[in-house]
Structure 1
């Protein structure tokens, strides 16, 4: 691990610089960390770079131009060399070894020339990256088909392409003593909430961790220490650059983390969380209908099975017109245990589908659903009505664009089921109050709740 306290400066002696750098970097042990010695204008020089991060064609052209230099062409210092003898755009002069080591490990090629008291950093990096295809989870019926990838520079370019405004600021911050992960803070300087931005930058500056092991999720946990008993998400995530660009234009802050193909958006509310890409591409009437439908279905996923359990415990509450919903068949397993077992079984099927090869996941899921549904009813384990309601809940959960919110609602439903089974209507009422309070008092980074109420 590189020591953060390194403050040694580059010397004029190439041999001294190489000796010191080789004592810090494992050049002899790591096959991909390469030291390349050559002569430029009759002066000894050394390149340091990481194999796989350097554009070979670009470096070949740069080195070809170096071989053409004569002794009289060599300037007296590194700054002059970068201006007169280096035919490349992204060049920096660094004299601090700590910054040099950071640049080398980030993929920048560093050149040392005998007699120069500084290093010439040539940023001709290239990262392995997949295509910017549309994300599987966040699809849109209309609109662009591109999506964020794991390379942060590609992601910032996708947003810059959509917002050609000088007020768009993308500030790069490095977090993690070992990982030194790049984090980009993106905002519109003329529209952003300055208090929120200052608070966010202050928190980012005070983060002191060894590494962002799980990239964006690790950063989210460091930014806001959530309470374990409130499962509702604190941030909105999107893999679509068009959605992130719209949020920027609305005055929000977008965080991009290198190696993560999604953007973190601040601040957020319950309305932001349940939005999806299609909401931006349809006419107003269609847009409103989709939002209302999604809200009703979301409400039903939380309260359908607890309300069914409540009415089955109090059959005299059922109006005559709704008597058909009452259970017709008797089974050996109590109703509450049927619901809880099916909740667990649905998650088991989902996990099995995720870990099954793609060509087999659909047929196996269909077969498992049919077998489990039909034979569990015939064998007397479950009522057909319970299977129907749980099937609706399982499918309706996928109307949520936010995966974390879907599980938060599931936990609230389980809480409501248990309280209703234990305390009847009093438990149902208490569970409803807990759900409302969990949403209303779910404090986010901006100091506001999901209902956009100032809490501090």
Structure 2
């Protein structure tokens, strides 16, 4: 819970300005601006952040204030905001906690001599990029827009798609230092009330200094996951159409300022492997895409451990599949080949992420040649092992969730190690453990990962 300053704005103009100058580093920070002017014969001070203010709007406001005469000055700040402030978003604040939060968030706060209150004028603008389609979550059809780092833009993208008065977007904050804005979005006539109450209580009771990693910090604070269970408990999306569809299904969407993605809950393993393309095609095509993606996802976990199991027990291999047997000499045990390739593939992926765009394609070709042909010829790896690991590496990209991809990778590694160690019994134990990881992985609502129900 964020500790709030209980100090109220007093009727003494000098005390209010002295307190603001004491708390805000006006002289030390070049971007915190204190602007003095005279309105209706009274001293006035503006406090705002340079770079967050629309210059055109501020010029028009100041021009309007300079034309106010002493006879036009109302008796209190509320009346002044109604009669003399020609702007849409205006609010009168009565305590310094709200004032500090608004100033540091980018709004302009105005103190006028003789008024027991502060006028908050929301004429801010944030640096923002365009709402282009996200690189990771692309769709062959549908809209080409995506979430950005500005929370107000993200809520507008969803509000544009759902013109229903039941769509509620509640704003709160978390982090004693960062005071990060958090928007909880839901359809009031469809949401699971128990889940919504649980989520809001958890956000309100957060004891964190800041959300330095934005959404990920919030997710970790909301639900303390067990370190040994890698399956994600939240679904993330950068597509506003996906978030809007989830809202209409009765789910809750959480937006965090400075994060270009939405956090969706409750979720299940079936939600994780869905993507926007499933809904932009005819029913039979969408079902086929879901089924094929599910089968390929299962294959990425069990394909290489099953191959290792049969290579350790060649007598179990049907004669029709005799062509899969390793033909060349095995210089390094198969289990070590698989583990080394798993590590090498992650190394190539990390290298690709940090490679300049103009060099990524030629370097990928060079890495493919070195890892493919030369590594087989040198005797480090067998061609069959390279083929099956190449399938696994490419198949991991058939499902859109990055965290789920690594969770499945860890399950595959566990199966490989247990199969190499205990043979058939190791493979069986590994399969049971994979099932247990799924069954006992509880979501925020407390339900099973394999069985999430909505109202």
TM-score, normalized by length of structure 2?
0.98
Q: Does 1:144 align with 2:158?
A: no
Partner of 1:43: 42
Q: Say if 2:300 and 2:392, in contact at 8 Å, map to a contact too.
A: yes
Q: Say if 1:108 and 1:123, in contact at 8 Å, map to a contact too.
A: yes
Q: Matches of 1:5 and 1:155 in 2, distance apart?
A: 27
Q: CA deviation at 1:137?
A: 0.2
Q: Does 1:60 align with 2:23?
A: no
Q: Matches of 1:87 and 1:176 in 2, distance apart?
A: 34
Q: CA deviation at 1:6?
A: 2.5
Q: Say if 1:4 and 1:98, in contact at 8 Å, map to a contact too.
A: no
Q: Residues 6-405 of structure 1: matches in 2 within 5 Å?
A: 6-405=5-404
| Structure 2 segments unaligned to the other structure (5+ residues) | none
Q: CA deviation at 1:365?
A: 1.1
Q: Say if 1:91 and 1:123, in contact at 8 Å, map to a contact too.
A: yes
SS in structure 2 at match of 1:130: coil
Deviations along 1:32-75, one digit per CA (max 9) or x if unpaired, are: 00000000111100000000111110011011001111110111
Q: Say if 2:7 and 2:95, in contact at 8 Å, map to a contact too.
A: yes
Q: Say if 1:26 and 1:33, in contact at 8 Å, map to a contact too.
A: yes
Partner of 1:414: 413
Q: Matches of 1:416 and 1:27 in 2, distance apart?
A: 60
Q: CA deviation at 1:4?
A: 3.8
Q: CA deviation at 1:453?
A: 6.1
Moved more, 253-262 or 101-110: 101-110
Q: Matches of 1:415 and 1:363 in 2, distance apart?
A: 34
Q: Say if 1:353 and 1:362, in contact at 8 Å, map to a contact too.
A: no
Q: Matches of 2:322 and 2:4 in 1, distance apart?
A: 75
Q: Say if 2:326 and 2:382, in contact at 8 Å, map to a contact too.
A: yes
Q: Say if 2:266 and 2:452, in contact at 8 Å, map to a contact too.
A: no
Deviations along 1:135-157, one digit per CA (max 9) or x if unpaired, are: 00000000000000000000000
Q: Matches of 1:95 and 1:269 in 2, distance apart?
A: 45
SS in structure 1 at match of 2:407: helix
Q: Say if 2:233 and 2:267, in contact at 8 Å, map to a contact too.
A: yes
SS in structure 1 at match of 2:279: helix
Q: CA deviation at 1:5?
A: 4.7
SS in structure 2 at match of 1:301: helix
Q: Matches of 2:119 and 2:420 in 1, distance apart?
A: 71
Partner of 2:433: 434
Q: Matches of 1:15 and 1:34 in 2, distance apart?
A: 18
SS in structure 2 at match of 1:281: coil
Q: CA deviation at 1:428?
A: 0.2
Deviations along 1:117-162, one digit per CA (max 9) or x if unpaired, are: 1000001111000000000000000000000000000000000000
Q: CA deviation at 1:400?
A: 1.3
Q: CA deviation at 1:14?
A: 2.1
SS in structure 2 at match of 1:424: helix
Root-mean-square deviation over aligned CA pairs:
1.0
SS in structure 2 at match of 1:184: strand
Q: Matches of 1:372 and 1:103 in 2, distance apart?
A: 55
Q: CA deviation at 1:390?
A: 0.3
Q: CA deviation at 1:16?
A: 1.7
SS in structure 1 at match of 2:126: coil
Q: Say if 2:151 and 2:257, in contact at 8 Å, map to a contact too.
A: yes
- Where does structure 1 differ by over 4 angstroms across 4 or more consecutive aligned residues? none
Moved more, 3-12 or 259-268: 3-12
Q: Say if 2:267 and 2:452, in contact at 8 Å, map to a contact too.
A: no
Q: Say if 1:37 and 1:47, in contact at 8 Å, map to a contact too.
A: yes
TM-score, normalized by length of structure 1?
0.98
Q: Matches of 2:299 and 2:360 in 1, distance apart?
A: 28
Q: Matches of 1:432 and 1:12 in 2, distance apart?
A: 71
Deviations along 1:266-307, one digit per CA (max 9) or x if unpaired, are: 100111110001011010000011111101111111011100
Q: Matches of 1:294 and 1:244 in 2, distance apart?
A: 21
Q: CA deviation at 1:10?
A: 1.6
Q: Matches of 2:421 and 2:39 in 1, distance apart?
A: 82
Q: Matches of 2:50 and 2:253 in 1, distance apart?
A: 32
Q: Matches of 1:149 and 1:103 in 2, distance apart?
A: 21
Q: Say if 1:43 and 1:113, in contact at 8 Å, map to a contact too.
A: yes
Count of paired positions: 452
SS in structure 2 at match of 1:437: helix
SS in structure 2 at match of 1:136: coil
Q: Matches of 1:68 and 1:5 in 2, distance apart?
A: 37
Q: Matches of 1:71 and 1:173 in 2, distance apart?
A: 39
